[in-house]
Structure 1
Amino acid sequence: MHILKLAFFAFPLTLAAACGQVDSTPKPLTEKQSAMLMKELNGKVAGAPVNCISDFNATNTIRVSDNILLYRVSGRLVYQNTLRSACSGLARDNDIIVSEQFGSQKCKGDIIRLVDRTSGMSGGVCSLGAFVPYRSEKTTD
């Protein structure tokens, strides 16, 4: 009887230890990811981060890595969003990004989910960070 009680209490602890903590530390960018980021941000200057951008401005999404998204508004303006933690599978570009937001803006803290295109099953769930605008400098010729 004593062994059953011990097993009853030890089993949940064993499960919790087996799960452990999820490592949300972003992996370094690969050479290809770095090149993509540089291509999109080349010649642009970072501005002050903003908490929200209009959905109208967020239609062209570029997946750089599992924790970096770019929202290209035009050739002159790109917003970089570094997610609050890595979103496993985001960089593969195989899944559909489904935004869970309120209103007509994407905002810091909004949730995005990855959904498999074929099965419809949910994958990674992530939270957006602040949006850093990168703008081309105006030239006075």
Structure 2
Amino acid sequence: MAKPKLIYAAALMAAPLIASCAPAGSAAPGAEALTPKQAERLNKQLAGKVPGPPEKCLPNFRTTDTIRISDDILLYRASGKLVYRNDLKGSCPGLARDSDIMVVRQFGSSTCAGDFFHLVDRSSGIRGPTCVLGEFVPYRKPEGDAG
């Protein structure tokens, strides 16, 4: 009967190590909290803009720039007055580094919630994680706002 106690003791000792692998400052299981730099970048991009109802798809001609905020958040800039926020369906490890290439698997002329993309290491060509897009929330400057 000594072996089951030994396994139980080993499991108890390993529990703190396993718990330490969780992201610091997580608001939800598996979700990363934004660093101060990421929060500043997000706030700068969305400053003065008001969120609208989420959209399922985003026609490709609408955006000129993709901005990686964190491993969970992408922004698609359409203009100085319109930015779409996409909260991914789950985290995409490495996305925030902004060094890997995003390869989007797309069908048709729109990028939609539920579409997959994966990251590819720029120097080695090794494929990284597969990630899933969420809905696109438009952030617009209010009418009459010159800025």
TM-score range (shorter-chain normalised) is: 0.7 to 0.9
TM-score (norm 1): 0.81
Q: Which runs of 5+ in 2 are unaligned?
A: 1-21, 23-28
Where does residue 105 of structure 1 map in the other structure?
A: 110
Alignment partner of 1:131 out of 127, 131, 136? 136
Identity percentage of aligned residues: 53
2:71–2:96 Cα contact (<8 Å) kept: yes
Shift of 1:57: 2.0
Where does residue 64 of structure 1 map in the other structure?
A: 69
Are 1:117 and 2:105 matched, yes or no? Answer: no
Distance 1:84 1:57, change over 3 A: same
Where does residue 52 of structure 1 map in the other structure?
A: 57
- 3-state DSSP class of the match of 1:73? strand
More moved, 84-93 vs 56-65: 56-65
Distance 1:105 1:140, change over 3 A: closer
2:63–2:79 Cα contact (<8 Å) kept: no
Distance 1:140 1:25, change over 3 A: closer
Q: How far apart in 1 are the matches of 2:145 and 2:43? A: 24
Task: Output the aligned Cα RMSD.
Answer: 1.8
Q: Which runs of 5+ in 1 are unaligned?
A: 1-22
Q: Which amino acid aligns with 2:86?
A: N
TM-score (norm 2): 0.78
Q: Which amino acid aligns with 2:45?
A: E
Return structure 1 stretches of 4+ with deviation > 2 angstroms. Answer: none
Where does residue 4 of structure 2 map in the other structure?
A: none
